[in-house]
Amino acid sequence: MLENGYYWRNRELREHAAVIDGTEAPSILLKNGTYLNTYTKQWLKGNIWIFNDRIVYVGDKLPETDEKTETIECDGLFLVPGYIEPHAHPFQLYNPESLALHAAKYGTTALVNDNMLWHFLLDRKKAFSLLEDFNRLPVSMYWWARFDSQTALQNEEELFSTNKVLSWLEHPSVIQGGELTSWPNLMAGDDRLLYWIQESKRLGKPVEGHFPGASEKTLTKMKLLGASADHEAMTGKEAIRRLELGYQVGLRYSSIRPDLPKLVEEILEEGLQTFDHLTMTTDGATPGFYEKGLMNICIGIAIDKGIPVADAYRMATHNVAIHYGLIDELGAIAPGRVANINILEEKENPDPLSVLAKGEWVMKNNEDQHIPPEINWTKYGLGRVEFDWDLKMEDLQFSVPIGLHLKNEVIITPYAIETDVTLDILPDTNDVAFLVLVDRHGKWRINTTLKGFTNKLGALVSSYSTTGDIVFIGKSKPDMLLAWKRMKELGGGIVLAHQGEIIFELPLQLGGSMFNEDMIALIAQESKLKSILEDFGYHFEDPIYTIFFLSSTHLPYIRITQQGILDVKKREVLFPAIMR
């Protein structure tokens, strides 16, 4: 049996069976609990025997125990499978381990993760070794195989070659192809992309779409070309149409698109009565959105809005496991499954009292068991970034006539620059700021302006971006140089400077992209950053995603990318990058 990249040995399977025979004692006995049978959608009274990290028995009988068996009385309590986040982007300032350990405290004990950042930060050998290290965490960690970078790279074919994509698809911890942000290329005849999709399906791994606002015609064609699922429905009608076409449908509740309450209301108003092909996802929300958990929040919303209780839990457990072919491992309380179990005080309250992950207590009677981090990041060369180049005032010259105008956190339109950008400091009478994207190795730059981000902030410099290149935003060129100098000293991070002073810094000690402390510390830092940016004129909700998506070509209408300023719809570089 395959579980997170390794096989259960015959000896272990025989030990599981020996517990049933009474010649081995279980490690944990959950006694007299009421558990959700996700196959029958019934709440049943029973005893659950756990041996190490496996459930070996569920039913009326009690086992032969010994002094090593931990017996937990569960009378009056309710037990459900550990929750699964089916679509995680585990790099939004946090790192995959810190996100996973935080999520587990609130009952999300398995995550299916984007692999994109590993393409930028690690070679395949190191990346695959890191995946094996993740398998040793109490949280079950699975991955996607990206088909594209969702931006315009200078070396796209090198980073996403057929050899690399297929090697990821074949890895046992990788259970999905996509997400398919490059679907316009597929529609335009990209047969290499179609081949990757076919290989994913041949390996029995679904392909996740990314089809916001797609027409019935587009959805139908994408289904014919191999898409299995989509999480981009923005209305109940869109969600149901995807179901009717045979998609597995993820209902989103993220910091950018908190649509789940409205989606549930609308699909119920449309009369939907079966929920077996629905899941829910937080789709890589920024840190503060996760303060009280992940899938527990989604389940609670689904229940409150009228989804039957058993179905609400299945949408974050059983349905996900079925979709990914993991139902023999996850998503149910049944013999042979990994011992990921949440213990609840009430059926309708998905916030767990206690959490078991791979048979290990993460939370117990509302007490954090303080599972320590295990990943040795330095083993993979992930630490401070050593920038061996410098930025000079002559790099901050602006001459292009087209700037980027923020319409919300992530939608950007072009506009004609009328501000005098030859000045060292732009006036605070408008919301136009300098915008520069510089290669993380210092080889090229793109200079333009950004309207709608700030009306007075001197500078923000960030090594956190779609590609790990360096983003500069601000009114003051001297402050940009100051913030850059401090960011270099930190070895990566987000730094704010104003009127010659550093006013905020967030070290991102892992490759310049990820915070190397726990989520609670990060949430506090993110909250401070958002508050400062609001004071300086940022009037949207999520500045982290604004910074991250400046280069993301799966969003309209214009982006700043490694190739230059890009018209997304035409796939045309309006102004190319300048070599330094």
Could you give the dihedral angle defined by the CA atoms of residues 536, 542, 544 and 546, in that order, rounded to the nearest 10 degrees? -90
- Residue-level pLDDT at 156: 87
- Residue-level pLDDT at 7: 59
Tell me how many degrees the CA angle 197-198-199 measures, rounded to the nearest 5.
90
| The two structure tokens encoding residue 474 | 């601000």
Residue from 27, 34, 75, 40 nearest 58 by CA? 34
Could you give the dihedral angle defined by the CA atoms of residues 108, 110, 115 and 121, in that order, rounded to the nearest 10 degrees? 80
Find out whether 141 and 4 touch, Cβ atoms under 8 Å. Answer: yes
Dihedral sign, Cα of residue 152, residue 156, residue 162, residue 168: negative
| The two structure tokens encoding residue 504 | 């905020």
Distances (CA, A) of 120 to 73, 487, 547: 48, 20, 17
Q: How far apart are CA 302 and CA 283, in angstroms?
A: 16
- Residue-level pLDDT at 294: 98
Residue from 154, 299, 258 nearest 545 by CA? 258
- Residue-level pLDDT at 9: 81
Q: How far apart are CA 551 and CA 98, in angstroms?
A: 25
Distances (CA, A) of 369 to 101, 122, 127, 160, 265: 11, 32, 29, 40, 37
Please give the average pLDDT of every successive group of 10 residues along the chain, which has 580 residues.
56 94 97 98 98 97 94 98 98 98 98 97 96 96 96 91 97 97 95 98 98 97 98 98 98 97 98 97 98 98 98 98 97 97 98 98 98 96 96 96 97 97 96 98 98 98 97 98 98 98 98 97 98 98 96 96 96 96
Q: How far apart are CA 548 and CA 471, in angstroms?
A: 9
- Residue-level pLDDT at 5: 44
| The two structure tokens encoding residue 409 | 């956190």
Return all residues near 48 (Cβ < 8 A) that are at least 6 apart.
Answer: 29, 30, 33, 35, 55, 57, 58, 79, 333, 341
Query: Whole-prediction pTM value?
Result: 0.97
